[in-house]
Amino acid sequence: MPELPEVEAIRRKLAPRLKGKRIRGVHILRASVTKPQPPPLLQELATGRTVRKVYRRGKNLFVELSGGYTIRVHLRMTGDLYLSRAVELPASVRLWLELGGGGKLVFDDRRALGTVHVHSPEEVASLLSKLGPEPLSKDFTPERLAGAARRSSRPAKLFLMDQARVAGLGNIYAAEALHRAGIDPRKPARRIRPAQAKALHSAIVAVLRDAVKSATTTYTRPGDFGETESFPRVVYGREGEPCPVCGGRIRRIGQGGRSTYFCPACQK
């Protein structure tokens, strides 16, 4: 499930190879991938353009084109974006861009929940303004995190997953950061004390830094993420196993329709 670290790994891999490439054609194999935009819009606005840069904000990947338009890819649960020279593409491919020089930029998505949209500069600015600070940037400070937490009555885990609060944290790394900071995922965000907010800030940065490193080294070919990823998960997916800090049992609860893993002894 791609979160910030996986999207960042994909960006690092693609950015130098895509820069300067011309898009010769857009092949949309499943119309729902561009919803609610009609597929011809992407075809019309991207064809003939050149890739200026590839950047990431939160879990969004942006491919900025000459002429001002930007393609935005959101991988959701099973999306993957990679370069290929294969003649026959897998059945799970939803869309591909034909690149100058013969390569293909392929959007592969087994569960078909990911999206590919095209945006004007104004739309990109509006999208970016709705995202919270980038957790691995200078904008993300303990004070800013504490301030946002004070204004939220949601449980800490759901607060962290809100992309308007912190951009890029999902189910896995939110759980890991809360465990590292010793915060109960059910605790209302506004009750997080200043010292805890400071610990949470450090935990988020540390967890994501390690995870980006791990994802970047692990990501060698499409579909390579997931179970094979080497990032050591302390609580996520470990219900009933001993907590590596205190030896207590890790619990799983439901929050916002997803599983939350935590150690009731360590996390208060």
- The set of catalytic residues is 2-3, 59, 258
Cα distances (Å, whole numbers) of residue 130 to 101, 125, 238: 37, 9, 33
Between 143 and 241, whose beta carbon lies closer to Zn ion?
241
Closest to Zn ion by CB, 83 vs 245, is 245
In the complex, which residues of this chain contact Zn ion (CB under 5 A)?
Answer: 243, 245-246, 248, 263, 265-266
CB-CB neighbours of 43 under 10 Å? 16
Token digits for 133?
A: 């600070």
CB of 19 to Zn ion, least distance (A): 45
Shortest spacing between CB 155 and Zn ion, in angstroms: 19
Residues with Cβ within 8 Å of 233's Cβ and at least 6 positions away in sequence, in order, are 172, 176
Query: Residue 186 contacts by C-beta under 8 Å, 6 or more apart in sequence?
Result: 155, 156, 157, 253, 255
Nearest distance, CB of residue 170 and Zn ion, angstroms: 22
- The residue among 90 and 248 lying less far from Zn ion, judged by its C-beta, is 248
CB 264 within 8 A of CB 164: no
Nearer to Zn ion, 46 or 263 (CB): 263
3-state DSSP assignment of residue 170:
coil
Q: CB of 179: closest distance to Zn ion in angstroms?
A: 8
Q: Starting at the earlier edge strand, list the strands of the sheet with 70-74.
A: 51-57, 60-65, 70-74, 115-119
Sheet of 104-109: strand order equals 23-28, 93-99, 104-109, 79-84
